[in-house]
């Protein structure tokens, strides 16, 4: 598998970067330009189902920030979840996953 600058981001391993390349995201600037929510929705559409948010949506956001996805706050994750669900309903044939209840 080819190595890319995307793989140097935290959270983005070979599988995610290969899937990103499949949807035309080859460089970090490509991801920054379309944003993590749009990228996540395109990846889910390509897969034909919603992909796990922690491995994809949160990882993409955190990669752009240069942190691990676990560093995102619950509020940030909730904002991303809402934005992705809204975008998926508007633009894809894939139905969003229901957000998991967070146990306090």
Sorted by where each begins, the domain ranges of the chain are: 5-91
Q: What pLDDT is recorded for position 1?
A: 41
pLDDT tier at 2 (50, 70, 90 boundaries)? very low
Task: Burial-class residue 84 by CB neighbours within 10 Å (0-12, 13-18, 19+).
Answer: buried
pLDDT at residue 82 in the model:
93
In this structure, are residues 37 and 80 in contact, taking their beta carbons and an 8 Å threshold? yes
5-91 belongs to CATH 1.10.150.20 = yes
Among the residue ranges 6-15, 29-38, 49-58, the one predicted with the least confidence is: 6-15
* Distance in Å from the first CA to the final CA of the chain: 41
Nearest to 77 by CA among 17, 48, 20, 36: 36
| Residue linked to tokens 């922690």 | 54
pTM of the model: 0.82
């Amino acid at each position: 598998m080819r190595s890319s600058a995307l793989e140097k981001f935290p959270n983005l391993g070979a599988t995610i970067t290969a899937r990103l390349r499949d949807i035309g995201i080859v460089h970090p600037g490509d991801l920054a330009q379309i944003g993590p929510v749009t990228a996540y929705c395109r990846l889910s559409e390509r897969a034909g189902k919603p992909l796990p948010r922690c491995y994809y949506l949160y990882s993409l956001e955190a990669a752009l920030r240069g942190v691990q996805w676990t560093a995102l706050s619950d509020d940030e994750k909730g904002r991303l979840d809402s934005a992705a669900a809204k975008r998926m309903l508007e633009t894809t044939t894939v139905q969003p996953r229901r957000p998991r209840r967070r146990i306090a």
